[in-house]
Each structure stands twice: as C-alpha cells, then as structure tokens.
Amino acid sequence: MKPQIIELLSAAVATLQDDGVLPSELSVSIQVENTRDKAHGDLATNLALMLAKPAAKNPRELAQLIVNALPVSALVEKTDIAGPGFINFYLSDASTQALVTQVIEQGERYGHNSTGAGRLVQVEFVSANPTGPLHIGHGRGAAVGDSICRLLEATGWQVTREFYYNDAGAQINNLALSVQARCQGLTPDDERWPEDGYRGEYIVELADSFMRGDTVQSEDQQFTGTGNADDLEAIRHFAVAYLRREQDLDLKAFDVNFDVYFLESSLYDDGKVDAAVERLIANGYTYEDGGALWLRTTDFGDDKDRVMRKKDGGYTYFVPDVAYHLDKWQRGFARVVNEQGADHHSTITRVRAGLQALQADIPTGWPDYVLHQMVTVMRGGEEVKISKRAGSYVTLRDLIDEVGRDATRYFLVARKADSQLTFDIDLARSQSSDNPVYYIQYAHARVCSIFRKLAEQSGSWHVSDGLAALSSLALDAEKDLVVLLGRFPEVVNNAAAQHEPHQVANYLRELAGDFHTYYNSEKTLVDDSEVRNARLTLAYAVRQVLANGLTLLGLTAPEVM
C-alpha cells in the first residue's frame, strides 16, 4: 500500500503548491513507513515535519493542511495527526481486498518491478581458483551472489553472472606439483613432497584419474589425462579442468549457474594488462622509485601510493584487477557488483583508484562491492574445522550432504554479508520452529495441507468467490497478515538496491511466524462459507508470497513436509 499512499501524498503536495502554501519549485521526497504500534494506524509519514521549514509553518498545522488536501481514496479508512506532526493512515477493508487481489493476480510476479528497465548489470561471485573443493566461504559467496542476481532480475535488470579465476601462477603450480608427486607415488610424509603442496584426499583422486587417462570436462575446460607422471604441463591442464568440473558439480548441487567464465591469464594473453598500464603511464599517474613502477593512488583517496610493477618486472595483484574491470566497463556494464570475501577489502580503494586514473569515464565508486565475512561451522557445540576430503577446511559439499541445499543456502544468506556467521549443523538439520528455513517452508506446506484437506472434505474454493468474501476478514491478525503481504514488494526492492538478500530471509521468517500464529489460533475450514472462502484466499496469498520469497533465495517451496 505504500506506493498508493505516496501517490495520495504527492497529489496533496501538488495541491498545496498550486495554492501557494508550499514553494512551487520545491522538490519533495516522500517517505512512508510501517507503524510500530497499530494504535497509530498501519502507515505513517513525517512529510509535514520535513516541509515545515520551507512552508514556514508549524508542523502540526502543515500536517492538517496536507490531510485536508488528500484525494478521497477507498483504500484509507481514516487519518490522524500524532506527536509533532506525523500523519497516520488507517487502511480500509477495500485496501485488504485490493492487496490480496494484487497478490493473486500477479502470482509469481508479485514483488517484482521494472526499476532496472532492462539495463545491464554484471555480478561477479565465487571466483575461486581451481586448487581444491569449494569451501564454506565460497559457499557463502555463492548463496549471497546468486540471491543478489535473482533480486536484480526481479527488479528489472538484465543480469550476467560471471566467474573469474586464474589457471596459472604460484597456486596452480603448487597444485600441479602436488598431483605430480601423487602420480609418482609420493605422500605428504615424504621428504620430497612439495613444500607448499596440497594434502587433501582429492589430490589422490585427481592423480588416479590422470593416470587412468580420464577425460574431464567442466563448463569451460576439457582435458584428457596422459598417464605420464613426468609431464607437468599436462598434469597442470588436467588438474585445472578436473577441479573446475568439481566446482561446477558443487555449484549445480547448490543451484548456482554462471553465464561467463573469465580467465585472468587471458588478460595477459590479450595484452589488456599491458595496455592498461600504458594508459596509466600516459595519463601521468605513475612514477618510478626504487626500481618499481608506482601508481599515485593517493590522488584518489588512498592512504599511500601502490606498487604496480615490481623490481623483477612482475605486476602486483591489483593491476590485472584494474585491467579486468576496464574490460567489464568496455563490455557495457554500467553497473557491476563484486561479491567477494572480506580479505579483498584492501583492494577496493586501489582498484577504484586505478579505474579513475584510466580516465575512461568510469563513475567514481564503480564497481559496487559486497564483502562477506568468515563462516564458523559448529556441530555438537564444537567447531568443525576440517573435511575428510579437503583435509584442511569444511567444504561446501560437506554441508550440502549434511543438511541439504535449502538449509545450507538459507543459513548462508540469513545474516548480512559483512557479519560473521556461525553455521550450526544441528540447528540446520532440526525439524522444529527453531530452524528458520524449516519454519518458513513448513508455513508454505501448511497452506498446501489446508487445500488438500478441503479436497478430502469434498469442499470447493474459487478465487472469484474468495476475493468477493474478503470483507469477512474482520480479525486484527488477518488484517496484519495482509499489511505484511503488502510489504513484500518494498522488501524485494530494498534488498535488490542494497544487495542484501538477508532482508528477504528476515521477512520470510516474520511472515511465516505470523501465519503460524494465526493458523494455530483460528480455524480456516469453518462452516460459514463466506469466512471460509475469505480465509482460504488469505492463506493462498500467503503461500504465494512465501513461494516468491523462497525462489528469490534459491530455495524450494515444498507442498508436503
């Protein structure tokens, strides 16, 4: 109902401007919020307090003028003025019918909008180098990043999901040496084992597959093992393809897909890193000192200048990031969201500084970053630190196998990304109201059970009859549920704009809680056909919104639990 109330207030402001009460050139941003206390109505605005100064009037006096200028609306039962000048709105029964009708008519589209207007946005997330199974940190990035993509699509953006990784460098070399050592029959206890080698059980599996001559294919890599333990280059290619396939399998089990896989090495192969550096030099933002090439990042707010090219001629790690993001800009992505681990925090300022120094008309503060904090996994009150397969950390697949995809995804997005997260395996597996994802999905299944019971009783329900009977929703709990359903589009819009899928998770828990309370206190399938139809229609709308919200988080909406 907020958009409709804002429209009414906008019309009132326009009237007051025409009457000379408010300056005609005044630009007004109208805010409408839910009230904390239902005694103060359903919605409220501080508009009169905001406009009192330019109107040169007492806020309460101006509030009354605004109320007097409001167009007549069947959605508003009454208004009142509270405190220093807040305007409270009490919604009518007609608003209940209008909102429930909107939910049912829009169905899966309820909560969606066209804010993005089909504009391009790229979301880069996970972006894990193929050196081992995805760990729980990658899982949090996958859950948050994919949910952000779903939210942006729901608000009208054309989304490209991108996975960026490196198939060369020190980490990949250590991986290849580790696999080669296994191919040669060595173990991590052998003195010839690579100093920085990987020790997980997956290295054994990888080596066995290479020696068998298996062909492995991922979304973007394919290679056949040669069985030659002395061919380090073949081992490297095979290991990358093998672990990329493993990543793909984990992500598919998590219902996460990508449109583009981008290799860091391609930036060097295509000359894009050198071209970006030459452009920075030509623009006058670099200097040489101590045999190294430096970027004047302090010109763009950094606390000190940063080395771009080291004495040995190699580039520091943020330089290819600058070239990569220039490539994103040149591909037409006016909006880019990078979902990464909190350890990337130090690169934000220097990457943005490098992009500004390129003088490529890239906006200040581009791209957006969402940084997630670490995840602590608990079982039986104790921290779980290692995986049998990975050897040194908890893998994403471990959690999916333990608690299922839905519980894993929900728990990883239920808190704001920049908050540290404790993942309690015992809680995630429990079938109780303490488990939020179970609690939400059970609310959806509960509505489905109502309609199954209706069918068993040979009862019938039609949308048209239900909508016509909505005036029979006379209980405060019913009206509160409708108001809560009306909040969903705003929650979706805010979550998308702020890149915060946890807002949807929190909303779903609130909606499920209110529905469970209502279900436990009021019978739905009553004898009175008008009341029964009205309550069935309300339950149907609740089910729809629960399903829509669960979809935005990549979760299923079960009909039976």
Q: Which residues face 292 on adjacent strands?
A: 289
Structure tokens at 27: 């630009």
**How far, in Å, CA of 340 to CA of 127, rounded?**
8
DSSP code, position 1: -
Structure tokens at 459: 């009862």
**How far, in Å, CA of 154 to CA of 332, rounded?**
21
| pLDDT, tens digit, 9 for 90 and up, residues 237-250 | 999 999 999 999 99
Q: Determine contact, residues 55/68, Cβ cutoff 8 Å.
A: no
pLDDT band at 86 (very low <50, low <70, confident <90, very high): very high
Q: Determine contact, residues 489/6, Cβ cutoff 8 Å.
A: no
**pLDDT number for residue 168:** 84
Give mean pLDDT, residues 59-87.
Answer: 93
pLDDT band at 24 (very low <50, low <70, confident <90, very high): confident
pLDDT band at 478 (very low <50, low <70, confident <90, very high): very high
**pLDDT number for residue 128:** 95
Burial 421-444 (b: 16+ CB within 10 A, else e): bebbbebbeeeeeebbbbbbbbbb
Return the H-helix or E-strand segment holding 339: strand 335-341
Structure tokens at 480: 């509160």
**How far, in Å, CA of 465 to CA of 437, rounded?**
33
| pLDDT above 90: residue 1 | no
| pLDDT, tens digit, 9 for 90 and up, residues 376-399 | 999 999 999 877 777 778 999 999
| pLDDT, tens digit, 9 for 90 and up, residues 410-464 | 999 999 999 999 999 999 999 999 999 999 999 999 999 999 999 999 888 999 9
| pLDDT, tens digit, 9 for 90 and up, residues 125-142 | 999 999 999 999 999 999
Count of CB atoms within 10 A of residue 454's CB? 16
Q: Determine contact, residues 159/149, Cβ cutoff 8 Å.
A: yes
| pLDDT, tens digit, 9 for 90 and up, residues 193-226 | 999 899 889 999 999 999 999 999 999 999 999 9
**How far, in Å, CA of 110 to CA of 492, rounded?**
10
Angle at 414 between CA 412 and CA 419, to 5 degrees: 80
CA distances from residue 209 to 106, 123, 238, 392, 504 in whole angstroms, order as listed:
51, 34, 9, 22, 43
Percent of the chain with pLDDT over 90: 86
Q: Which residues contact 229 (CB under 8 A, 6 or more apart)?
A: 180, 183, 184, 211, 235
Choose among 364, 324, 353: nearest CA to 340.
324
| pLDDT, tens digit, 9 for 90 and up, residues 253-262 | 999 999 999 9
**pLDDT number for residue 335:** 96
**pLDDT number for residue 25:** 85
**How far, in Å, CA of 348 to CA of 354, rounded?**
10
Q: Determine contact, residues 479/534, Cβ cutoff 8 Å.
A: no
| pLDDT above 90: residue 117 | yes
Give mean pLDDT, residues 529-556.
Answer: 97
**pLDDT number for residue 542:** 98
Q: Which residues contact 432 (CB under 8 A, 6 or more apart)?
A: 438, 439
Burial 60-91 (b: 16+ CB within 10 A, else e): bebbbbbbebbeebebbeebebbeebbbbbbb
**pLDDT number for residue 27:** 84
Choose among 305, 544, 506: nearest CA to 414.
506
Q: Tell me the CA end-to-end span of the chain in Å, nearest whole number.
A: 33
**pLDDT number for residue 367:** 97
Q: Which residues face 338 on adjacent strands?
A: 124, 369
Q: Which residues face 163 on adjacent strands?
A: 261
Return the H-helix or E-strand segment holding 444: helix 436-456
Before 367, cis peptide (omega within 30)? yes
**How far, in Å, CA of 200 to CA of 533, rounded?**
59
Q: For the ranges 2-6, 413-417, 427-431, 507-511, which has the lowest average pLDDT?
A: 2-6
Count of CB atoms within 10 A of residue 305's CB? 18
**How far, in Å, CA of 30 to CA of 64, rounded?**
16
Percent of the chain with pLDDT over 70: 100
DSSP code, position 395: B
**pLDDT number for residue 385:** 87
| pLDDT, tens digit, 9 for 90 and up, residues 134-190 | 999 999 999 999 999 999 999 999 999 999 999 888 899 999 999 999 999 999 999
Question: What's the mean pLDDT when you consider all of the chain?
Answer: 94
| pLDDT, tens digit, 9 for 90 and up, residues 254-287 | 999 999 999 999 999 999 999 999 999 999 999 9
| pLDDT, tens digit, 9 for 90 and up, residues 347-384 | 999 999 999 999 999 999 999 999 999 999 999 999 99
Q: Which residues contact 434 (CB under 8 A, 6 or more apart)?
A: 427
